[in-house]
Amino acid sequence: MNSAHFDLLLVDAHVATMRAGAGAYGVIRDGAIGIVGDAIAWVGRRGDLPRDVTVTKTLACDGGWITPGLVDCHTHLVYAGNRAGEYERRLEGAAYADIAREGGGIAATVRATREAGEAALAAQSRPRMAALATEGVTTVEVKSGYGLDTANELKQLRVARALGAELGVTVRTTLLAAHAVPPEFAGRADAWIDAVCADIVPAASVAGLADAVDAFCDTIGFTRDQTRRVFDAARAHGLPVKLHAEQLSDQDGAALAAEYGALSADHLEWLSPRGIDAMAASGTVAVLLPGAYYALRETRRPPVEALRERGVPMAVATDCNPGTSPTTSPLLMLNMACTLFRLTPQEALAGMTHVAARALGLADRGRLRAGMRADVAVYAIDEPAELAWRFGGNPCLGTLRAGVPHFRSAR
Ligand SMILES: [Zn+2]
């Protein structure tokens, strides 16, 4: 390689490339990464850098570790209001059904989200996206589902995109109008699904605001037949699908998702052997959400051993939402995925890097090698397993997002 030039050179770090076939974590000790524009141009041992390389700026990483930027592939982070009061009341003995009857639960979030203008919704959601980025997230998926009418669903998606542009984080938006039945359609779930298919999916598609379409298939969500209708509408508009499946019961939703070539099926505590076979055959990613499992004090784990055995790729995400997973800590989710679900720390990190990217249909990130997008995270840790081992701290020093440095302290 003659007369190489890097706009940015990262040194003084070990690198967990997460490259396939490169050993545990794809480790390169005393590594270096050369960046040109928004892409990685070179990854290797520092001692192997091209001799005549010229560099515009060198960034020292204090002997820490560089990983691919984290990808949080399942969030509901754009919403208004909060539900801490309900949490407090439930701990004082109130039943969830009573709270729901009084207009609490998801209905409270829908009301607050509808009432908020775009600026107010962005102001409330911005700290959540920023918090994810502070722990190393460079790509985040954001779902709608608290608007539950055309204008408010699109408002949520627009705010998600705007926040991504403002913060320099890649945002992938997912239309989740089939999240719950809005009050205007109480007792008429089929009529609501008609509206989702006839009005909201087309409107989101025409506006170019949705990268995928999702639904909540469960006893308190929508039936398999209703979910199929949403998927047909998505397919008619050329949009890939994802599914909240088998969280509280087995509706055979993951198999339905697999039948539609879904990018992912998410939650999966009640996933059956049939669902696992279908996902393995279709290459659908299993997105594990330990935050919701923890918050709901579930006891039935997703079938991690069977997923691993069948080669179903497993991702891990925050599920950031005000009801069942009010967290903005992806690193805590790595810990929970290992401690609660028994993933290995390497599987958990893969689940929040290249596997999560796959769950979003993104092939240009999640591993560190030449040609990939220059999305990286830098951590003050001694070994990669530390990311999952610790909980409650944040060792992230900063990130590069499309080659642009965002660090806590000047360097
Ligand atoms: Zn969710």
213 Cα: distance to centroid of ligand 1 (angstroms): 12
HSE, side-chain direction, 13 A CA sphere, residue 365: 33
406 Cα: distance to centroid of ligand 1 (angstroms): 28
CA–CA separation, 174 vs 141, rounded Å? 7
pLDDT score of 265: 98
CA–CA separation, 316 vs 264, rounded Å? 11
- The residues near 203 (Cβ < 8 Å, ≥ 6 apart) are 150, 154
241 Cα: distance to centroid of ligand 1 (angstroms): 14
pLDDT score of 78: 98
- Which H or E run contains 291? helix 290-295
Residue 189: CB atoms within 10 A of its CB come to: 16
pLDDT reading at 410 higher than 80: no
338 Cα: distance to centroid of ligand 1 (angstroms): 20
Site of tokens 């003084």: 12
Backbone angles phi, psi at 318, to 5 degrees: -80, -30
Residue 206: CB atoms within 10 A of its CB come to: 9
Q: What is the DSSP string of 12-67?
A: EEEEE---TTSSGGGEEEEEEEEEETTEEEEEEEGGGS-TT-EEEEEEEEEEEEEE
Residue pair 411/16 in contact by the 8 Å Cβ criterion? no
318 Cα: distance to centroid of ligand 1 (angstroms): 9
248 Cα: distance to centroid of ligand 1 (angstroms): 12
Q: Which residues face 72 on adjacent strands?
A: 140
Per DSSP, helices labelled H in 31-167 are: 84-91, 96-101, 106-115, 118-134, 150-167
pLDDT score of 2: 53
94 Cα: distance to centroid of ligand 1 (angstroms): 24
321 Cα: distance to centroid of ligand 1 (angstroms): 7
pLDDT score of 366: 98
399 Cα: distance to centroid of ligand 1 (angstroms): 26
CA–CA separation, 264 vs 242, rounded Å? 5
pLDDT score of 104: 87
Say what the pTM is. 0.97
Query: Nearest CA to 7 among 54, 77, 50?
Result: 54
Q: What is the pLDDT of residues 55-107, one digit of tens each?
A: 999 999 999 999 999 999 999 999 999 999 999 998 999 887 788 788 888 99
pLDDT score of 108: 95
Query: Nearest CA to 243 among 232, 227, 259?
Result: 227
Taken in order 181, 184, 188, 191, is the CA torsion positive or negative?
A: negative
244 Cα: distance to centroid of ligand 1 (angstroms): 6
pLDDT score of 409: 81
pLDDT score of 319: 98
383 Cα: distance to centroid of ligand 1 (angstroms): 31
Residue pair 172/211 in contact by the 8 Å Cβ criterion? yes
Helix (H, G, I), strand (E, B) or coil at 314: strand
411 Cα: distance to centroid of ligand 1 (angstroms): 37
Helix (H, G, I), strand (E, B) or coil at 139: strand
402 Cα: distance to centroid of ligand 1 (angstroms): 27
Band of the pLDDT at 278, cuts 50, 70, 90?
very high
Q: Which amino acid is at 253?
A: G
61 Cα: distance to centroid of ligand 1 (angstroms): 35
316 Cα: distance to centroid of ligand 1 (angstroms): 12
Q: What is the pLDDT of residues 379-399, one digit of tens each?
A: 999 999 999 999 999 999 999
Which has more pLDDT, 341 or 104?
341
Q: What is the pLDDT of residues 153-179, one digit of tens each?
A: 999 999 999 999 999 999 999 999 999
Residue 395 corresponds to which tokens in the numbers above? 């060792």
Q: What is the pLDDT of residues 115-157, one digit of tens each?
A: 999 999 999 999 999 999 999 999 999 999 999 999 999 999 9
pLDDT score of 75: 98
238 Cα: distance to centroid of ligand 1 (angstroms): 22
Band of the pLDDT at 217, cuts 50, 70, 90?
very high
323 Cα: distance to centroid of ligand 1 (angstroms): 10
Taken in order 290, 377, 397, 174, is the CA torsion positive or negative?
A: negative
Site of tokens 């399942």: 74
Which has more pLDDT, 213 or 104?
213
Residue 391 corresponds to which tokens in the numbers above? 């909980």
Residue 25: CB atoms within 10 A of its CB come to: 21
101 Cα: distance to centroid of ligand 1 (angstroms): 22
Site of tokens 């209708």: 229
Q: What is the pLDDT of residues 253-264, one digit of tens each?
A: 999 999 999 999
CA–CA separation, 76 vs 156, rounded Å? 10
Q: Which residues face 39 on adjacent strands?
A: 36, 373
75 Cα: distance to centroid of ligand 1 (angstroms): 6
307 Cα: distance to centroid of ligand 1 (angstroms): 20
Q: Which amino acid is at 240?
A: P
